[in-house]
Amino acid sequence: MPTVSLFEYIAAKLEEPPLTPEELEFFAEHEKIEIIPNFTLNLPNSMLTCIEGTYGPFRPNIPIKVPLYLALSLYRRGKCRIQLPAWMAKEDLKGTLEEERTHPQYFQPVPQYYVEISKLLFTEARAIFGSNSELCEIQDLIEELKKVRNSKILDGLRKVSGPITVKLNHLSATESNKIRLLFENSLNMWHQLSKARPALLQCYLGPQLLHRTPPIFLPPILPLHSVPAFQNDKVWQENRLAGTDTPTTL
């Protein structure tokens, strides 16, 4: 029976993410973005009232901020120009990417829905990027930024081997959505292992050594990297007595 690490065991049992990509995209469409209308809205004060707020005034060549869904709707009708967000400028993306690589222990601040917003603009408003070469370069920078940040997340999760405080500041919605179930299942497994402490200690130390060891010297909990990875109990006990057991690590 092949052995697997605890990380691989839990990851294999993950269900669908708590939020689907479509739901995350829906939330992203409510983020504000700047547009420049080319029309005058024939309403009092040229203001448009939506369910979640009032936006305007809609007058030619006067920049205003509106939800992304409204900006894209007007853009498709040729009623406005969408301004490229400052964080999507090529130089800004290069700087953020360089900081991510320079500081592997930290996550750089990014918009919460940067993945969804960039995807919508790439597909729905390609003209705002100018030339195709500029569009491709910005797309490559966004993809590279996603890869670097995902790699940092996975590296951090693999290093978790005990009761520690995990800081995950500046994660985007997509990134936190990916690891939410993994953390939940990992913490549940850790709680179950904590409750099974006496049995695990007896398994490792043996009943005679366990009874002779003062409780005060017993470790508070076995670290994850010391727990055999779901092997058959009888087979593992035989290997342990023979001195051939090798617990799998994360």
What is the reported pLDDT for 55? 95
Instruction: Residue 42: give the domain boundaries.
Output: 31-83
How many structural domains compose the chain?
1
The runs of H, that is alpha helices, within 45-103 are 68-76, 90-102
pLDDT at 177 over 70: yes
Question: Does a structural domain hold residue 79?
Answer: yes
Contact 60, 37 (CB under 8 A): yes
Question: Does a structural domain hold residue 217?
Answer: no
Question: Does a structural domain hold residue 65?
Answer: yes
What is the reported pLDDT for 242? 58
Identify which of 99, 195, 80 has the alpha carbon closest to the alpha carbon of residue 148: 99
Question: Does a structural domain hold residue 231?
Answer: no
Question: Does a structural domain hold residue 64?
Answer: yes
Mean pLDDT across 160-178: 73
- Average of per-residue pLDDT values in the chain: 78
What is the reported pLDDT for 248? 42
CATH number for the domain spanning 41: value is 3.40.5.50
Question: Does a structural domain hold residue 17?
Answer: no
Question: Does a structural domain hold residue 90?
Answer: no
pLDDT at 123 over 90: yes
Q: Which tens digit of pLDDT belongs to each residue from 191-211?
A: 776 776 666 666 666 555 545
Work out the number of other CB atoms within 10 angstroms of the CB of residue 60. 10
What is the maximal distance between C-alpha atoms in the chain?
88
pLDDT at 47 over 50: yes
What is the reported pLDDT for 124? 95
Q: Which tens digit of pLDDT belongs to each residue from 208-247?
A: 554 554 444 444 444 444 444 444 455 545 555 555 544 4
Query: What is this structure's pTM?
Result: 0.67
Question: Does a structural domain hold residue 241?
Answer: no
pLDDT at 172 over 70: yes
